Structure 1
């Protein structure tokens, strides 16, 4: 299994240029086709249409937003061409962001997205759209922190394991990265130091990874923190280049009510995160 086709979300945020360069570098490294997708942002479309309705210019504002999406797509094509990539294309889409990305990702092995920037307008809408995408997308999603401007290194990978279907899905989806990594750590957290019930399951997963050519270090750690905070600390302590984890192992409303690892990582990630639902 290899990533042969990548899809990258294009938008008008300051992090778009770095995300584009990351997608180009990964496509070159993996010999993959890369598609840039520029959807019309639903929040902006709604805002501009509401304002335009007062003046009777809905069609004009919609066309302006689509024109900006087309400009982003064309800029992506020019950057891919300048980088000498052999296989690439770009699409400007009228569909809302989450719907557009989920549909277009069906033709890709991996979707690249940016973490929403809380300093920008429509942050809450962008975060909600990303959560919806993670729940509906049939492909793994590689999330890039909005502060991450450097190339993505994938040498040291931290796999967060909680025994869920989503956790197994993410680990399986990440196999191409795990096989190429220099160091892989499989980690599970428990609050009771005497509780070793998860250890046999962790050992089976480690053995499964080994059969796929991935020698992984196993960690069965005790924490008094929330798992989300423990995961962020572990990523820093291990010098991780990437975190692999399942997205929303519980219903999204339950995660919002009780606090959840997925939400913690979406809002506070410090390194790229590969998520699957």
Structure 2
């Protein structure tokens, strides 16, 4: 049983997205492992509705088709929820629930995430025929979600490791929010890098702000190594290179965007990471 002090530093409720993609079993395994590690309640959510089907419902001539498609998707969602329930039971988790929801995926995930500390999803797989729909759903979830989102690369097949964490920092509200949201994982890490990139070697480095941020992390029980680099690379590439150089297991960063991903950080680093992530990424908007 966790002490009151440990509970205050922990994730107490986790939400994992359920779908029929090949990445689903690994994502569920990671969610179960995290729930066990944090002694957290685990919710599995399988949304069944899509934006496309909602639009089709406006066409009376398509009523029969839409009704049949909705019934099929709902049956699939219920099967996913049942499988999740069985896996949690087999893992002997003490607290879990499985939900099948007819609300559109992005809306459903963002709404249910309000009652969780962390949402777990997967990077869209570009080889799948409905890749664009998955990407659009993820985009909308990141923009709507009030909780951090842990993204697992679609190629990831191993247990989640969070012993070496790379924090991407630019002093913005989003990056600070991500850092705060990641604290339960950061406190368990062996190595944490707080990194900032800039373009001009002659420009003023934000040394004072970085030192202040490092001090704040130390007060939270996180000993971070500060690294400030000058680079001519796109920042997304520099970030991925740094993850490789440090052997990071996890990247923590802000998610930037507005209604149509009008990104303003690093010329599109959020999109670069969504498309090219090599390790799990925790994002907060």
User: Does the alignment reach a TM-score above 0.5?
Assistant: yes
- Does residue 1:105 correspond to 2:74, yes or no? no
Q: How far apart in 2 are the matches of 1:219 and 1:171? A: 16
Can you list the C-alpha shifts for 1:7-37, whole angstroms capped at 9, x where unaligned? 0000000000010001001101111110000
Q: Deviations over 1:130-151 (max 9, x none)?
A: 1111111000000000000110
Q: Report 1:206-245 matches (<5 A).
A: 206-245=214-253
TM, length-normalised to structure 2: 0.91
Q: Tell me the TM-score normalised to structure 1 length.
A: 0.94
The SS at the match of 1:240 is coil
Cα contact 1:170–1:245 (8 A) shared by 2: yes
Distance 1:131 1:168, change over 3 A: same
For 1:26, which of 31, 34, 50 is the aligned residue? 34
Whole-angstrom CA distance in 2 between matches of 1:263 and 1:202: 25
Report if the CA contact (8 A) 1:45-1:65 is conserved.
no
The number of residue pairs the alignment matches comes to 277
Contact 1:241–1:272 (CA under 8 A) maintained in structure 2: yes
Q: Which moved more, 1:105-114 or 1:53-62?
A: 53-62
Give the superposed CA RMSD: 2.2
Hey, what's the Cα distance between the residues in 1 that align with 2:98 and 2:161? 25
Matched, 1:81 2:60: no
In the TM superposition, what is the alpha-carbon distance from 1:152 to its structure 2 partner? 0.3
- Is the alpha carbon distance of 1:251 and 1:222 closer, same or farther for their aligned partners in structure 2, counting shifts above 3 Å? farther
Distance 1:166 1:108, change over 3 A: same
Are the counterparts in 2 of residues 245 and 273 from structure 1 also a CA contact under 8 Å? yes
Aligned to 1:274: 282
1:181 is paired with a residue of what secondary structure? coil
- After TM superposition, what 4+ stretches of structure 1 lie above 6 angstroms from structure 2? 47-52
Contact 1:48 1:61 in 2 (8 A): no
Unpaired runs of 5+ residues, structure 2, are: 1-8
Q: 2 CA distance for matches of 1:121 and 1:163?
A: 38
Unmatched 5+ stretches in structure 1: none
Aligned match of 1:66 in 64, 74, 77? 74
